């Protein structure tokens, strides 16, 4: 009965820790919020549509400055997308998001998915820092930093 077998985790504990540490480091420089959602397969034709659905399911639009960013990855389907809330989306253009995804895809194609994810998070964090810099005593962590795993 193969359907009862437990699936291998998508990331090792060390890999997950490295990604979460990267998210936390990026968020220490900004009032923005970054979340990573990873699943094996994309249930939608377009990864951006799926990312949008996940973004709102995770209630990421609830940040005070509307500056949450969801980094979406479907591992087996080799799809990724970045969905940004209206605050940060208005501050950066489509070329920025395309460039970020291109960098991540390049790293993944070179065989280092974790480095690609971390580099993408760092780039997003830098953009958030530019447009929504950290304000000591005012900013708080509005969303969990842990990776969200889908099916």
Query: Residue 146 falls within a domain, yes or no?
Result: no
Evaluate if residue 9 carries a pLDDT over 90.
no
- In this prediction, residue 53 carries a pLDDT of 96
Give the Cα separation of 13 and 29 in Å (integer).
Answer: 25
pLDDT value at residue 54: 97
Q: Does 47 reside within a domain? A: yes
Please give the tally of structural domains in the chain.
1
Give every CB contact of residue 89 below 8 A, 6+ residues apart in sequence. none
For residue 2, what pLDDT is reported? 54
Domain at 100, CATH number: 3.10.310.50
Structural domain harbouring 59: 13-129
3-class DSSP state for residue 119?
Answer: helix
CA atoms within a 13 Å half-sphere pointing along the CA-CB vector of 67? 25
CA distances from residue 102 to 34, 58, 109, 139, 147 in whole angstroms, order as listed:
18, 25, 10, 31, 21
Q: Is residue 137 domain-resident?
A: no
Which tens digits make up the pLDDT trace of 27-76?
Answer: 999 999 999 999 999 988 899 999 999 999 999 999 999 999 999 999 99
pLDDT given for residue 49 in this prediction: 96
* Rounded-to-integer distance, Cα 100 and Cα 134, Å: 21
Distance between CA atoms of residues 23 and 31, nearest Å: 12
Give the per-residue pLDDT at 65.
94
Q: In which order are the strands placed within the sheet that holds 68-74?
A: 79-84, 68-74, 33-39, 148-149
């Amino acid at each position: 009965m193969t359907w009862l077998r437990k699936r291998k985790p998508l990331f090792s504990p060390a890999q997950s820790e490295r990604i979460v540490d990267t998210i936390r480091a990026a968020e220490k420089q900004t009032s923005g919020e970054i979340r990573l959602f990873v699943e094996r397969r994309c249930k939608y034709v377009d990864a951006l549509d799926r990312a949008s659905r996940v973004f709102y399911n995770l209630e990421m639009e609830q940040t005070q400055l509307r500056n949450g960013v969801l980094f979406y990855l479907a591992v087996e389907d080799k799809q990724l997308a970045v969905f940004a809330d209206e605050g940060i989306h208005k501050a950066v253009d489509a070329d920025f998001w395309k460039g970020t995804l291109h960098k991540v895809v390049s790293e993944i194609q070179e065989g280092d998915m974790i480095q690609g994810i971390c580099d993408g998070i760092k780039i997003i964090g830098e953009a958030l820092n530019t447009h929504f810099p950290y304000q000591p005593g005012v900013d708080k962590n509005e969303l969990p930093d842990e990776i969200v795993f889908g099916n």
